[in-house]
Amino acid sequence: MSEETQDKKEPKNDYSSSNIQILEGLEAVRKRPGMYIGSTDLPGLHHLVYEIVDNSIDEAMAGFCTNVVCEILPDNIISVTDDGRGIPTDIHPKAGISTVEVVLTKLHAGGKFGDGAYKVSGGLHGVGVSVVNALSSTLEVRVHRDGKQHYQKFHQGKPAASLKMVGKSTLRGTNVTFKADSEIFDNLEYRYDTLAARLRELAFLNKGVKITLRDTRTSETREDIFQYKGGIVEFIKVLTENKHSLSKKTVHIEAEKDDIKVEVAMMYTDTYSEQILTYANAIHTREGGTHLEGYRAALTRAINDYKKKLGLDKKNDFALTGDDVREGLTAIISILIPNPQFEGQTKMKLGNGEVKGIVQSLVFEGLSQFFDENPADAKKIIEKCMDTARARLAAKKAKDLVRRKSALEGGGLPGKLADCTSKDAEISELFIVEGDSAGGSAKQGRDRNFQAILPLKGKITNVEKTKLENILGDTEISALITAIGCGIGSDFDLKKLRYHKIIIMTDADVDGAHIQTLLLTFFFRHMTPIIEHGFLYIARPPLYLVSSGKSKEYAYTDEEKDKVVTALNDKNYYVQRYKGLGEMNPVQLWETTMIPSNRVLMQVSMDDMIVAEKTFVILMGDEVEPRRKFIEDNAQKVVELDI
Ligand code: 1YM
C-alpha cells in the first residue's frame, strides 16, 4: 500500500471554515419545498429526519462518531444526537457568523462539497440540514465541542439569536431538535416503521455505527438499536434467513478504483427469485443503473469463465445467460462515489458512465478469486446455474407458442376480461374478482366506462415455489398478465400498463385471504413497479348489512356494525353477515365496493422492501416452522378474516 492511501484511511481533522462555500438563502426552499425534499406529504416529512441523520452518518464515515440517536418526541418533535466532533462553532471568515449558523441557514453549505471528498450518505437529493431548518417551525442546535456547550434556536429557518456559549461540557457531539412546520406539511405524524426501515438500512451500510431509534410519543416507549459489525454481509444473512443457502460462505468483495469504492455481498439460495439491492452513497437506487449493469456483466462472465475452467463446457455446450446466473441470488451492491448522478423517472437510477467498467472489473476479479479460494462453494453455484439453464432450455422447447404470443407479446385480450371502454390508463380500473359468480355481479354492477372486470377461477399458482416458465402455464395468471398489459420478467414495461388502479376483490373468508396473498405474492415478485408506484389496491367489501324497517346500512368492520346498531335505537333490526361477494346483488356490490365515492380501497405499499420480502418467503415458501410462528404472532391481526 502506498503512503498516500494509508494517509487517506487515517481520520484527520482537516476542517477549516474557509473551505465552506456559501451559496444562496432559504426563501427559495419555503417557496418550493418539493424541489428540495421531493414532496410535502409523508415521504417528504420523513426525508427531513434522514437529512439530519445523514450528517451524523457522514461524521461516522469520516471516523469521528460511533453513536447516533434518533428520537420521536411527543408532539412529533424530532431529536437527533451524535457523538462526533460537533459542528464547528468558530466565526466563519467569509460570512461573519458562526459556522453552525452557516451550516443551518445557507443552502449547500458544507465542507464536503466541491473539495473532492465523498458526501458519503446523502439523502434523496442530499440537500442538507439548512433545508430542514427552513421547513421547521422551530429548530434548536446544541454543539458540544472543545469543553464547551453552544446553543442556537431558529424559527422557520431564521435565527432567533446568534450562537451562544451556554456552559461547559465534557461531551462531544451535535444535537438537532426540530418540529416540522405545519404550514408546509399537512401531516406531521411520523411512522415509526418507516424511520426504522431506513435507519436499519443505514446501519447495515455503515458497519459498526450504532443507530438508536426511540419513540416516546406515547406512555409506552418503543426502541430499536441497529448495529451490524458485519455490515452488508450481515444484511445478506438477514435477507436469506428463511431460505436454504447454497453455500456456507457469503461472497464479500471490497475494492476501490479511481476514487470509487465498491462493496458487494452475495449468496445463492434454492429459491427462484432474485433480490439485488443496489446503493450509491447509501441511497437505495431502486431503478438500478451503471453499478448494477457492471455487476451483472461481471457475474455472468465470471461464472461462465469458471465453468470453462472446471471443464464443464465440453460436456454441456451452452453458455449461461444473465437470467441463469441470477436465479436464487440475493446480493447487495454498495458503492461510494464523489459525484453521484441520479437519473430515471424517480431519480433512483445511478447514471455515472464510468462506474460500469469499474464495478465490472472489480467484481470480476473478486468473484474469480472467491471461486479459486472456495472450490466447493463455487461448484455448487455453477451446478445450480446449469440446472437453471437446463430448465430454461427445456421449457423453451416445450412452451406453447400460441400462449407465449398472447401472454408475453400482447396479442388479443383474454376472453373472460370484461374490459372498460376507456383506453386512458390513468382513469381505468381493473377489478380482479374471486369466482365467476361474483365476477358476474361485478360485470353487471360496474361503470363500464372505466371499470374492467377479470374473474379468477380458484387459486392461482404459488409463484414463490414456481419457476417463471411454469408460472406462465397457469391460465389465470397468463390472463392477468395479458389484461394488465406490461408483460412479465425481463419484458416488463410499466409504460404499457392499461390500468392505474388494479383492485383485488376477494371474499372476506379464509379462501379469499389466501387468494389475496397469492395475488400479492405474484405482484411483489413479478410486477414490483406496480406496487412501488401505488397502482395496486385491495377492495374492502362490507362485512354486514344492518336493516331496520326501510333503513339499510352497510358496516365494514365489527366496530362499525356495533355503532350502527346502537345508533338505530330500535329492537327490530336485522344483521346480515356477508360471507362472500356472491351474496351481494350487482347493485349492492356497486354501491358498497365499486363506486369511487363510497368504496373503501386499501393501497398496497411496501415501505420496507426487506420486511415485505421476508413476509412473502415466510408465508409462501417451504419452511413450515417460521410460517407457523408468523401466523401465531400475527393471528390477532387476521382474526377478522377467519370467521
Ligand atoms: C445531529 C446532526 O450535524 N453532526 C456533525 C456535523 C458536522 C461535523 C460533525 C463536522 C464536520 C467537519 C468538521 C468536516 C458538520 N460540519 C460541517 C461543516 N449532526 C451533525 N458532526 N467538523 C465537524 O466535515 O470537516 C457541516 S456538517 F461544514 F461545518 F464543516
When pLDDT is cut at 50, 70 and 90, the band that residue 127 belongs to is low
The whole-angstrom separation of Cα 279 and Cα 283 is: 5
> Of the given ranges (68-82, 230-244, 366-380, 522-536), which has the lowest mean pLDDT?
522-536
Q: What number is the average pLDDT over the span 597-610? A: 82
Question: In the structure, what pLDDT confidence band is assigned to residue 400 with cuts at 50, 70 and 90?
Answer: very low
pLDDT at residue 249 is higher than 80:
yes
> Residue range 240-254: average pLDDT?
93
Average pLDDT of the segment spanning 97-111: 80
pLDDT reported for residue 111: 37
- Does 311 have pLDDT greater than 50? yes
pLDDT of residue 508: 80
In the chain, the percentage of residues whose pLDDT exceeds 90 is 58
Please report which confidence band the pLDDT of residue 14 belongs to, taking 50, 70 and 90 as the band edges: very low
Calculate how far, in angstroms, residue 159's C-alpha sits from the geometric centre of ligand 1: 19
Instruction: Give 157 Cα–ligand 1 centroid separation in angstroms.
Output: 18
The ranges assigned to domains in the chain are 27-226, 232-394, 405-541+602-634
CA distance 449 to 457: 25
More confident residue, 23 or 373: 373
pLDDT of residue 196: 96
Whether 227 and 200 have beta carbons less than 8 Å apart is answered as no
C-alpha cell at 581: 361477494
Position 121 scores a pLDDT of 39
Residue 428, CB half-sphere, CA atoms under 13 Å: how many?
18
Report the pLDDT value the prediction gives residue 112, as an integer from 0 to 100: 40
- CA dihedral sign of residues 146, 150, 156, 161: negative
Which of the listed CATH numbers 3.40.1160.10, 3.40.50.2300, 3.50.30.10, 3.30.230.10 matches domain 232-394?
3.30.230.10
Residue 105 CA, ligand 1 centroid: distance in Å: 14
Under CATH, what is the fold of the domain 27-226?
Heat Shock Protein 90 (3.30.565)
509 is catalytic: yes
Q: Is 491 a catalytic residue?
A: no
- Atom number in ligand 1 closest to CA 100: 29
Q: Confidence class of residue 496 from pLDDT cuts 50, 70 and 90?
A: very high
Q: Angle 375-398/354-373 helices, nearest 10 degrees? A: 120
Measured CA to CA in angstroms, residue 1 lies from 61, 293, 358, 377 at distances of: 21, 29, 20, 30
Query: What was the pLDDT predicted at 642?
Result: 28
Q: What is the pLDDT of residues 166-204, one digit of tens each?
A: 999 999 999 999 999 999 999 999 999 999 999 999 999
Q: What is the mean pLDDT of residues 427-440?
A: 93
**Pocket residues for ligand 1 (CB within 6 Å)?**
15, 20, 52, 55-56, 59, 80, 82, 84-88, 99, 103, 110-112, 174, 176
pLDDT in tens, 584-603: 899 999 999 999 998 888 88
Instruction: Assign a CATH topology to domain 405-541+602-634.
Output: Rossmann fold (3.40.50)
pLDDT tens across 549-563, in order? 888 889 988 899 999
pLDDT, position 619: 79
Residue 515 backbone phi and psi in degrees, to 5: -60, -40
The C-alpha atoms of residue 463 and residue 470 are separated, in whole angstroms, by 9
Of residues 405 and 556, more confidence is placed in: 556
In the predicted structure, residue 9 carries a pLDDT above the cut 80: no
pLDDT category of residue 525 using cuts at 50, 70 and 90 = confident
Residue closest via CA to ligand 1's atom 10 equals: 87
What is the structure's pLDDT at 108?
64
pLDDT of residue 26 exceeding 90: no
Separation of 205 CA from ligand 1 center, angstroms? Answer: 20
More confident residue, 489 or 150: 150
Exposed/middle/buried for residue 248 (C-beta within 10 Å: 0-12, 13-18, 19+):
exposed
Give the residue, by CA position, lying nearest to ligand 1 atom 25: 15
Q: Which of 112-121, 213-222, 508-517 has the lowest mean pLDDT?
A: 112-121
The whole-chain average pLDDT of the chain stands at 86
507 is catalytic: yes
pLDDT digits (tens, 9 = 90+) for 444-476: 999 999 999 999 988 888 888 888 777 888 889
Q: Confidence class of residue 276 from pLDDT cuts 50, 70 and 90?
A: very high
Query: Distance (Å, rounded) from C-alpha 319 to C-alpha 153?
Result: 64
How far is ligand 1, taken at its centre, from the CA of residue 348, in Å?
A: 26
Give residues with Cβ within 8 angstroms of 384, minimum separation 6.
246, 268, 270, 327, 328
Q: Coil, strand or helix: which one is 441?
A: helix
Residue 315 pLDDT class (50, 70, 90 cuts): low
Which of 323, 343, 509, 607 does the annotation list as catalytic? 509
Instruction: Give 614 or 9, the one with higher predicted confidence.
Output: 614
> Span 25-37, mean pLDDT?
86
Give the global pTM. Answer: 0.73
pLDDT at 25: 67
Cell of 79: 431529536
- Ligand 1 atom closest to 112 (CA): 24
pLDDT of residue 402: 40
Is 476 known to be catalytic?
no
Tell me what pLDDT residue 167 has. Answer: 97
Q: Would you say residue 50 has pLDDT above 90?
A: yes
Mean pLDDT calculated for residue range 612-630: 78
Residue 310 scores a pLDDT above 50: yes
Residue 395 banded pLDDT, cuts 50, 70, 90: confident
Residue nearest to atom 13 of ligand 1 (CA): 15
Catalytic residue among 234, 293, 511, 608: 511
